Structure 1
Amino acid sequence: MPQVRVRDGAHYAVVVVGGGQAGLATSWQLTARGIDHVVLEADRVANEWRDRRWDSFCLVTPNWQCDLPGFPYAGADRDGFMVRDEIVAYLEDYARCFDVPLAEGIRATNLEEYPQGFKLTTDAATITADQMVIATGPYQRPKIPRMAERLPGEVLQLHSSQYRNPGQLPAGEVVVVGTGQSGCQIAEDLHLAGRQVHLVTGSAPRVARFYRGRDVVAWLDEMGYYVKGIEEFDDVDAVRFRVNHYVTGRDGGRDIDLRRFALEGMNLYGRLVAIGGSDLHFATDLRTNLDHADAVSEGIKDSIDAFIGARGIQAPGESRYQPVWQPSVEPEKLPLQEISAVVWSTGFSRDDSWIRVPVFDGRGYPTHRRGVTSVPGLYFVGLPWQHTWGSGRFGGVAADAAYLGDQIVQRRMQTGVRWIAGLPRSEKTVA
């Protein structure tokens, strides 16, 4: 895979910032349309998968959903779940397969509007572009609550992006805060290694791995859930910021049942509300959190049953989930003296402070419609729920990249500007 040398003062028709699956998919669409561009990656291709995932990490969606443009999954285990190193290899192979014009190790530091489009300052050069695509992904700045500052120094603290394996943590009991996908899977990883885990729950929903003879993802895909546009929902903002359902692809895929973990010795708690004195303090909402997660999972099964019935599909019957454990008490405190480490599985926030273009709302979220912002020529791709449930996943980013490719071509036609590929701005002519 050839590396592009980015020269100071160079001009491109399009600059793509970010070399993950969203940036690579966009590059493929631009190449297919004959559009001169460069992809800038601050580290290496697939860096988020390589450096921010633990050793046993695997996809939670089946391999057949890895369908990047021009590069569908071609392995032998379509219904399996790629592990971390296989995901990295898949993306590296993708970048090589069409010689993406990639410049690795170049970090964008400032983006502003410019008479000819946009001026981008990086730690290597300053370049300009007619159009810009931001493909930096949602996992940029680890979020850790300020209450973490109250933990004693002898307690090791890690964000989920820093966790690798149980052996990384000191001997003793471990608190995992958060029951999104990362929190539940890290808690399981520790639990399977024989560690005493204290899992702090939240409002994240869960989903069954399999139901009525198929992976639930396969049912939802056939039902059209992954291509339903966000504008079809009444509560767009609520949908866009929903927490993902927890489930796992580990060992061929299975449910994550926190109640089962509790039966096996894991300690569960409600939401963490304070760290004070010598204790962690919790809300008394453990039962509510568990019941909510189960209700969402059973609701998805209801929709699958209705789909099967409406289509007359032959599918095996299956009994419904019965809770295997209920909290007899709602624990409100945990002594800190029992804890050796805390893993904060509390998510990420975006870091768009380098983008000096007025496209953000009061929360700092980029305002857009299907990735197209109100500033002509500036686009985002790879955002969760950018247009559909699949937008932030391997299975849906291709459609978003194709849409933006069409928008980029349309704008080029409207402006009448065409730059000869591969030359710095000073050497280019306008056709």
Structure 2
Amino acid sequence: MSWYLQRAGVDHVVLERSEAFHAWKHERWDAFTLVTPNFQCRLPEHPYDGEEPEGFMRREQILAWLDRFMEKLDPPLHEGVTVTRLRAGEDGGFVLQTDEGVLHAEQVVLCVGGYHRPWAPPAVERALPQGIHAVHSNAYRSPSALPDGAVLVVGTGQSGAQIAEDLHLEGRAVHLCLGDAPRVARRYRGKDVVTWLEEMGHYDLTITDHPEGNAARREANHYVTGRDGGRDLDLRAFAAQGMHLHGLLRRIDEDGVAHFDDDLAERLDAADATYDRINEAIDRYIEAQGLDVAEPPSRYTPVWTPPPGPPAPLDLRAAGVTSVVWCTGFRPDWSWVELPFLDDTGYPDHVRGVVEGVPGLHVLGLPWLHTWGSGRFAAIARDAEHLSAHVVTRASLAVAARAA
């Protein structure tokens, strides 16, 4: 947003409560990589500039790429400034209370994303036996940073599946509690699946045209990895290699025994069904376009299935579990924004980032703000350019009104 506002000559400041790229620097594990190919990294006049467009940047490479963009941008950035309250001004515009004083602005763009507070199931979290080390995914760094012993990983979104693999590759005993995230192949018929989906226009599908509508914003992302050049994440294969898979974590008793829903097979089957549906959609696209590419492989065959019978409870101490990694997502916190801009679900009520109910207020960087790529490097620049046009137009009208 600052890039486009600078080029339009709109006076603005960028407030950051910590430091630029804080989350990338301090809230990603050591082995973190992108899960989308590097070619989808597109900032304004700063596309991916490395030698592996089909590869997946590691955390330190991502930071270096972002630093190069920052050098080009040179924004009016104020780090270490926390906005504690945002309210409407008495004579129009907005008043921002910060820990450095009060600011007045004609317009505000909220670029804080939607992942504000790490969340874990409160009752289960409180029931963890004393002595078990617990961290959220944003605080996990590496297997060696955890106490020796088995690890309970709760959740199988992108973070949960990748962290479970990270621990598994280091030889740690892992108990993985599944969530409802689907999976996707890394490569299919000669190309990365993301490349196919981009060619098919999937990343241009808008939230208004999505078959599920706004409900798509609440769906978990597909798990896959870019580690070591990229590969599938097959939880069944992990189980065949000794990882312990469980259904949804339901409760932990006072004696430290964990209980799970009897839904492990159902969750694995649902993830595989999505995997197959995506591949079948690619098959249809290839056929419709008459493309001469590799023949489709055999349909996925499960390499492991859960044993019959109800799920056995897990005595955490007896199993040697010394750590828990919560990969159960985040919850938004808009409590500091004292403006009527949320819908009935607590999500900002906007149209492509324009909060029509509060003139002059905008949001940017939310998942599915406009398309699937909105919360990612793939389309953040496109969204910012579109939204900046609204900001610039409104700023120009304000200047004209003052001059009249």
TM-score (norm 2): 0.95
The residue type paired with residue 271 of structure 1 is L
Aligned to 1:370: 352
Question: 1:415 and 1:197 mapped to 2: Cα distance?
Answer: 59
Change (3 A) 1:417 1:241: farther
Equivalent residue, structure 1, for 2:45: 70
What's the offset of the Cα at 1:309?
0.5
What is the SS of the residue equivalent to 1:157?
strand
2:8 maps to what in 1?
Answer: 33
228, 234, 241: which is aligned to 2:218? 241
Residue-by-residue CA offset, 1:150-185 (whole Å, 9 max, x unaligned): 111111111111110001111111100000000000
Flag as ranges the 4+ runs of structure 1 deviating above 3 A: 413-418
How far off is 1:430 after superposition? 5.5
CA pair 125-93 structure 1, distance change in 2 beyond 3 A: farther
Matched letter for residue 55 of structure 1:
D
> Aligned with 1:152: secondary structure?
coil
Q: 2:304 aligns with which of 305, 325, 347?
A: 325
- State the 1:362 CA deviation: 3.0
Match for 2:72 among 97, 100, 105? Answer: 97
Q: Distance in 1 between matches of 2:344 and 2:19?
A: 32
**Equivalent residues in 2 for 1:110-121, closer than 5 Å:** 110-114=85-89, 115-121=91-97
Match of 1:48 in 2: 23
Indicate whether 1:335 and 2:318 are aligned.
no
Whole-Å Cα distance in 1 between the matches of residues 380 and 261 of structure 2? 38
SS of match in other structure, 1:273? strand
List aligned pairs for 1:246-261, cutoff 5 A: 246-261=223-238
Amino acid at match of 1:308: I
Q: Secondary structure at the match of 2:68?
A: helix
CA distance in 1, matches of 2:139, 2:351: 33
1:154 aligns with 2:126: no
Q: CA deviation at 1:137?
A: 1.4
What does 1:396-411 align with in structure 2 at a 5 Å threshold? Answer: 396-411=379-394
Match of residue 14 from structure 1: none
User: 2:99 corresponds to which letter in structure 1?
Assistant: D
Query: For 1:303 and 1:411, how far apart are their aligned partners in 2?
Result: 42
Q: Paired residue for 1:314, among 264, 285, 292?
A: 292
Determine the C-alpha separation between the residues in 2 that align with 1:312 and 1:369. 37
Q: Which residue of 1 aligns with 2:58?
A: 83
The corresponding residue for 1:19 is none
Alpha-carbon separation, structure 1, partners of 2:162 and 2:215 = 24
Partner of 2:33: 58
**Cα-Cα RMSD:** 1.4
- Unaligned ranges ≥5, structure 2: none
Q: Does 1:384 align with 2:367?
A: yes
Mark the runs of 5 or more structure 1 residues left unpaired by the alignment.
1-25, 419-428
Q: TM-score, normalised by structure 1?
A: 0.90
Q: Percent identity?
A: 49
Task: Please point out which of 94, 108, 126 is paired with 2:83.
Answer: 108
Aligned residues: 396
CA distance in 2, matches of 1:282, 1:60: 29
